[in-house]
Amino acid sequence: MITVIIPVLNEEKTISNVIRHCRKNPLVTEIIVVDDKSQDNTVSVAKEAGAIVYTSHVLGKGFSMKEGISYASNEILVFLDGDIDPYPENTVENLTEPLLLDEADFVKGTFARNAGRVTELVAKPLLNIFYPGLAEFSQPLSGMIAGKKNYFERIKFFNDYGVDIGILIDMYLMKARIKEVNIGYIENKSKPWEALGKMSKEVAKAIITKAQQQNPEDVTEEAVKSLEEINRQMHDVLQENLSHFHKMAVFDMDDTILKGRFIDACAKKFAFTAQLEDLRETETDSIILTKRIGLLLKGKTIDELLNVIHNIEMVKDIKEVIGTLKKKGYIVGIISNSYTLITNYVMKNVGADFAYANQLEFFEGKATGEVGMPFYFFGSPNSICGHSYCKTNAMQYACEKYNVYFKNCIAVGDSKDDRCMVGHAGKGFAFCSKDELLKKIANRQINEQSFQPILTHA
Amino acid sequence: MPNNFYNILVPVDFSPRSKWAIAKAIELANTFNCNIHLVHVASTNGLLIADAYTGMFAYNMSADMEFAGKKLQQLKEQYIHHVCNGGKIEISVLYGHPKTELKKYIEQFQIDLLIQGLSKFNLLHRIWSTVSISSLVRKTNIPVLAVRSSGLICHFKKIVLPLHDQVPMRRIRLAAMLGRYFKSTVYVLSVRNKNGDYHVPLLTETLEIIQSLTTIPVQSIILEGKNLAEATLKFSKKINADLIMVPSIKEFYLPGAWNKFTKSLLSYKSKIPVLTVDHNE
């Protein structure tokens, strides 16, 4: 008899079809859905479709899987993702057949697919170095697996993107008989690049951590050097490919692209204007000020913050001007002391290429109040201005990344914070600025709410 | 602003002063990892880069250019091993009016700095050179570094930046860049005017701008004296400065009718390297 375990989070649209698919197999006597506190109707839909639903006590796929195992009453377990619809015919049969025939203890499902960058660029090279025996698996990160309960019970699960590769490595280390079976074609959407970074990190962490635990001497100097060399070569190739830009334009966000300041709008909406003013008057250290302002946003949800930015008007022609700059061969970015959540929203709306800002931390969709400050804002011995924390450092990082000379840079800003960046750029613009010194530092001034004058100098 | 020098131009007339300029260019190129362009302009009206080989003889352009090309190649071979950090030495022989040809070359190759060697003893050439620096700066819009002797210049530890009547943004940017590389101190000078006043707001503003752009140490000094150029030179000698940065304006001409007539910037009299930038600061 077979138990199917499906960890889910907000999958009301697909879960009933997944359950129905499982029930087609007569050997499946138990379908367990472990819900990660969905905010939609996933639980009721799953119950209606005939599954036993448990709510996970701890968030994360790894914990959900572990809890599912503890509730399962059969010896053969199948794990399926709740967001795939449709599954190829006979998925459960294909996954369990080697187990029922006692040809394997653990089965990894592989499928024809249209994505897999982390698999090819991160997982496979690392497996080649640390676990050559697993390098032959075509999809080591696949989440469609089946296995014997007594093996699963001995595994320590990762709780992030590393969970699937972690299970595979543990099975390998337990000397379980592992088989990869093809289950057909699955439409799997490519993840956005922001998610790829997180996924790459967690997958790499899982592989390297397991290797270190197993045998610390295995993570040898040679392995580290191989990884560094791969990284260096990839970085060099990227640099070469990015070097065609030659020109860059960077914009401040608050009071420049936006007709207002995001944090001021938040202060107004969430009624902390007085506290914000107090902080600005008393705190002179810009790093501490940024951290303390972040605390004012503690508890605010992503939706609330996005709603604030949605209601701030942008300068009318920003999109058009950025479009023209890009046509002229400029790479266009936003460098702001605000938060990436907001700058990314603005970046997408105006069509910019990159956005550098601080990272407001979130947990369960709510701001923790912690602010992560990216390395590129901090000075280094090679920093052109020498300031310990400055937008110019971020601009320098971008210039080096895209192989652009400072003299081919346009910088647009409005406030004291932008003086250094505007001063160091080849062409600096003071945009509707009230800061007299910035006006002197900038080569040019724009006194109307339009970015068109930039184009005459671009 | 340049956050770096990428291309340095040295006009070459094959005299010893060209060699000083090349030596300085190599020092800077090795600091900034940049390229050096050695350019000879063959011309019948030798003003800036007087053609030492045409003189009284009938001018033979092709022979002169061929000869110059060979000499430049020799110079390149002589100095190429002195350049490290990936910099290159490019050589070119041009024909025409020196300033016009250099201007075209500067635009074409995005030159960031021109280094001009100045004669130690030839008074006539010194006057001409200085005048030419002034007009070259105005025409080409790039900074011109005038050097008068051999010896290390790549230690610009003390940079003197005299003020006149406006915030010198171009010089501030250059000083900020050089100051970060050489860990320099910038001395901002102001001279009391005829009424005995000095420009406090300008001095304060300049200091604040430098501090906005860089973390290098800055000192502000108020000098006594009627002539800005003379007072600057006197102060620079006193503190043993390594570089003076001036704009190409008449306020930086040396005192006296002759100097006024010949438009002699303070580089005429300075043993310290002088970096002249366009007056449109």
Spans of all domains in chain B: 7-149, 153-277
Q: Using the beta-carbon criterion (under 8 Å), do B3 and A407 form an inter-chain contact?
A: yes
Cα–Cα distance list, A64 to A79, A293, A440 (Å):
11, 36, 60
How many angstroms separate the CA of residue A254 from the nearest CA in chain B? 20
Q: Which of B26-40, B151-165, B188-202 has the lowest mean pLDDT?
A: B188-202
Residues of A in contact with B180 (CB under 8 A): 383-386
Residue among A387, A396, A424 whose CB faces B1 most closely: A424
Q: What's the mean pLDDT in A380-385?
A: 87
How many angstroms separate the CA of residue A434 from the nearest CA in chain B? 16
How many angstroms separate the CA of residue B166 from the nearest CA in chain A? 10
**Which residue does chain B place closest to A383, by CA atoms?**
B180
pLDDT in tens, B100-117: 888 899 989 889 999 988
Q: pLDDT band at A210, cuts 50/70/90?
A: confident
Q: Using the beta-carbon criterion (under 8 Å), do B208 and A437 form an inter-chain contact?
A: yes
Q: Using the beta-carbon criterion (under 8 Å), do A407 and B2 form an inter-chain contact?
A: yes
Q: Average pLDDT of chain A?
A: 87
Q: What's the mean pLDDT in A138-153?
A: 89
pLDDT in tens, A431-456: 999 999 999 999 789 999 999 999 98
pLDDT higher than threshold 60 for residue B147: yes
Largest CA distance in chain B: 60
| Cis amide linkage into residue A7, ω under 30° from 0 | no
ipTM of predicted assembly, 2 dp: 0.78
> Tokens for B127?
């006057």
Q: Which of A184-188, A331-335, A374-378, B69-73 has the lowest mean pLDDT?
A: A184-188
Residue A239's pLDDT is 64
How many angstroms separate the CA of residue B212 from the nearest CA in chain A? 6
**Which residue does chain A place closest to B1, by CA atoms?**
A426
Residue B48's pLDDT is 42
Q: Does A405 touch chain B (CB under 8 A)?
A: yes
Contact B83, B26 (CB under 8 A): yes
Residue among B169, B177, B214 whose CB faces A441 most closely: B169
Residues of B in contact with A418 (CB under 8 A): none
pLDDT higher than threshold 90 for residue B244: yes
Residues of A in contact with B2 (CB under 8 A): 406-407
Percent of chain B with pLDDT over 70: 82
Residue B2's pLDDT is 47
How many angstroms separate the CA of residue B184 from the nearest CA in chain A? 13
| SS3 per-residue string spanning chain A | CEEEEEEECCCCCCHHHHHHHHHCCCCEEEEEEEECCCCCCHHHHHHHCCCEEEECCCCCHHHHHHHHHHHCCCCEEEECCCCCCCCCCCHHHHHHHHHHCCCCCEEEEEEECCCCHHHHHHHHHHHHHHCHHHCCCCCCCCCCEEEEHHHHCCCCCCCCCCHHHHHHHHHHHCCCCEEEEEEEECCCCCCCHHHHHHHHHHHHHHHHHHHHHHCHHHCCHHHHHHHHHHHHHHHHHHHHHHCCCCEEEEECHHHHHECCCHHHHHHHHHCCHHHHHHHHHHCCCHHHHHHHHHHCCCCCEHHHHHHHHHCCCECCCHHHHHHHHHHCCEEEEEEEEEEHHHHHHHHHHHCCCEEEEEEEEEECCEEEEEEECCHHHECCCCCCCCCCECHHHHHHHHHHHHCCCHHHEEEEECCHHHHHHHHHCCEEEEECCCCHHHHHHCCEEECCCCCHHHHHHC
Q: Does A387 touch chain B (CB under 8 A)?
A: yes
Q: Does A323 touch chain B (CB under 8 A)?
A: no
Residue A105's pLDDT is 93
Residues of A in contact with B205 (CB under 8 A): 437, 440
Q: pLDDT band at A266, cuts 50/70/90?
A: very high
pLDDT in tens, B61-81: 777 788 888 989 988 988 888
Q: Does A154 touch chain B (CB under 8 A)?
A: no
Q: Using the beta-carbon criterion (under 8 Å), do B205 and A423 form an inter-chain contact?
A: no
**Which residue does chain B place closest to A404, by CA atoms?**
B3
Q: Which of A435, A441, A443 is the best residue to mutate to test the B interface, defined by the most B CB atoms within 10 Å of its own CB?
A: A441
pLDDT higher than threshold 90 for residue A5: yes
CB pairs under 8 A between A and B: 58
Backbone angles phi, psi at B54, to 5 degrees: -90, -55
- Alpha-carbon distance of A322 to A324, in angstroms, equals 5
Q: Does A381 touch chain B (CB under 8 A)?
A: no
3-class DSSP state of B171: helix
Residue among B169, B205, B214 whose CB faces A385 most closely: B214
Contacts of B10 (CB under 8 A, 6+ apart): B18, B21, B22, B25, B36, B37, B38, B39, B114, B115, B116, B117
Q: pLDDT band at B52, cuts 50/70/90?
A: very low
pLDDT in tens, A78-99: 999 888 878 888 899 999 999 9
We find that the CATH architecture of domain B153-277 is 3-Layer(aba) Sandwich (3.40)
pLDDT higher than threshold 70 for residue A188: no
pLDDT higher than threshold 50 for residue A107: yes
pLDDT higher than threshold 70 for residue B121: no
Q: What's the mean pLDDT in A370-387?
A: 89
Residues of A in contact with B208 (CB under 8 A): 437
- Alpha-carbon distance of B204 to B163, in angstroms, equals 11
Percent of chain A with pLDDT over 70: 92
Q: Which of A247, A390, A406, A435 is the best residue to mutate to test the B interface, defined by the most B CB atoms within 10 Å of its own CB?
A: A406
The CATH fold of domain B7-149: Rossmann fold (3.40.50)
Q: What's the mean pLDDT in B92-100?
A: 86
How many angstroms separate the CA of residue B144 from the nearest CA in chain A? 18
Q: Average pLDDT of chain B?
A: 81
Q: Which of A378, A385, A391, A399 is the best residue to mutate to test the B interface, defined by the most B CB atoms within 10 Å of its own CB?
A: A385
Q: Which of A305-309, B135-139, B175-179, B243-247 has the lowest mean pLDDT?
A: B135-139
Contacts of A37 (CB under 8 A, 6+ apart): A9, A55, A56, A59
**Which residue does chain A place closest to B215, by CA atoms?**
A386
Q: Using the beta-carbon criterion (under 8 Å), do A440 and B213 form an inter-chain contact?
A: no
| SS3 per-residue string spanning A103-135 | CCCEEEEEEECCCCHHHHHHHHHHHHHHCHHHC
Percent of chain B with pLDDT over 90: 22
Q: What's the mean pLDDT in B144-159?
A: 76
Q: Using the beta-carbon criterion (under 8 Å), do A384 and B180 form an inter-chain contact?
A: yes
Residue A167's pLDDT is 92
Does the fold of domain B153-277 match that of domain B7-149?
Answer: yes
How many angstroms separate the CA of residue A420 from the nearest CA in chain B? 5
Residues of B in contact with A419 (CB under 8 A): 209, 212-213
Burial of A418-441, coded b for 16+ CB within 10 Å and e otherwise, reads bbbbbbbbbbbbbbebebebbebb
Residue among B1, B208, B214 whose CB faces A386 most closely: B214
Q: Does A369 touch chain B (CB under 8 A)?
A: no
Residue among B2, B169, B213 whose CB faces A420 most closely: B213
Q: pLDDT band at B217, cuts 50/70/90?
A: very high
Q: What's the mean pLDDT in A297-326?
A: 93
Chain B residues contacting A via beta carbons under 8 Å: 1-4, 6, 112, 167, 169, 173, 176-177, 180, 205, 208-209, 212-216
Residues of B in contact with A440 (CB under 8 A): 167, 169, 205, 209
- Alpha-carbon distance of A303 to A321, in angstroms, equals 29
Q: Which of A6-20, A185-199, A313-327, B221-235 has the lowest mean pLDDT?
A: A185-199
> Edge-to-edge, what's the strand order for the sheet holding A354-363?
A366-372, A354-363, A330-339, A247-251, A409-413, A427-431, A444-446
pLDDT higher than threshold 80 for residue B120: no
